[in-house]
Amino acid sequence: MGFWQHLAESYDKNADALQKDYPLSTTSISNNSDIIVIIVIDGNGDFIRCDKIDKKSNSTRKNSGNPLVNVKIPVTEESLGRSSGVSPHPVFDQYGYLKGEGKKYDDYIEKLKRFAESGFATEQVRAIYKYVAKRTVASDMSEMQLEDKTNIVFQVEILGSPRTKTWEEIAFFDAWHQYYVAEKLKLVERKKWAEEKLASEKKLPANEKKKLKEETKLNNRVSLDYITGEQQLIATSHPKKISNASGNSKLVSDNDKSNYT
């Protein structure tokens, strides 16, 4: 327990450094292997221009190269651990999710819509939703000839607001984290209700019973946090990038047989 207590104290002492880094609801992308596209829009969701963060390159005698740039983005547990499946990030994502067609776009825009229409959304989030919902990303980016895996972030220029880089806004990350936790807690309550209904009502119609059983399989639940002594949401997936941007080892693992973690 001493180890975990000291770890918790380390987080508390570095609270200022964690203002945009919520465990399991943020991660970072970089220009290490590709450019990062910046789509600039106004507060009404209208396209203004596009920009980019050039791919990292080493300096030479003839030029100074491009430095490594890390950009924070909001995520879900599922999107953070995605591999080949469809699991969109909530706001910033790859071109393949934003270009306006297919299941990736459909899932992305549905989740962004719910966030944008919630009471947690900032003006920037609402503007981003209005823009992406127009399905003009592909035509607006046509001259750049983007790959599906090229990352895209948004810069929102709102009259009277000096800060336009959404990925640098603490309020933006606060809004996503609060919304995400609220949604997960709703699912916790839904799962609890389904379990109680199945236990108390034995003669349910087959289709209703099947639906309730599906809801009991949801991973979202709360349990005792052994560090704080409080009831907290349980993480079912754990992030990569503990030691560096390309690291795949986890901080804690219960199935590591080869000392990988």
The radius of gyration of the chain from alpha carbons, rounded to an integer in Å, stands at 21
| Structure tokens, 61 | 């005698």
Residue 223's φ and ψ, nearest 5 degrees, are: -155, 180
- What's the confidence (pLDDT) of residue 245? 55
What is the biggest distance separating any 2 CA atoms in the chain, rounded to whole angstroms? Answer: 79
- What's the confidence (pLDDT) of residue 18? 56
Confidence of residue 233 (pLDDT cuts 50, 70, 90): confident
Please give the Cα distance from 17 to 20 (Å, whole number): 8
State pLDDT tens for residues 169-228. Answer: 999 999 999 999 898 888 887 777 777 777 777 777 878 777 777 767 666 667 767 667
Among 93-102, 202-211, 232-241, 243-252, the range of highest mean pLDDT: 93-102
Please give the Cα distance from 10 to 190 (Å, whole number): 35
For residue 203, give Cα distances in angstroms to 197, 199, 212: 11, 10, 13
Among 134, 123, 125, 117, residue whose Cα is nearest residue 153: 125
Helix (H, G, I), strand (E, B) or coil at 40: strand
Helix (H, G, I), strand (E, B) or coil at 58: coil
State pLDDT tens for residues 122-179. Answer: 999 999 999 999 999 999 999 999 999 999 999 999 988 888 899 999 999 999 999 9
Find the distance separating the first CA and the last CA of the chain, reported in whole Å.
19
| Structure tokens, 130 | 């209005």
- What's the confidence (pLDDT) of residue 199? 78
Name the percent of the chain lying above pLDDT 70: 80
Please give the Cα distance from 60 to 155 (Å, whole number): 31
Number of separate helices (H) and strands (E) present in the chain: 8, 8
DSSP state of 120: T
pTM for this entry: 0.80
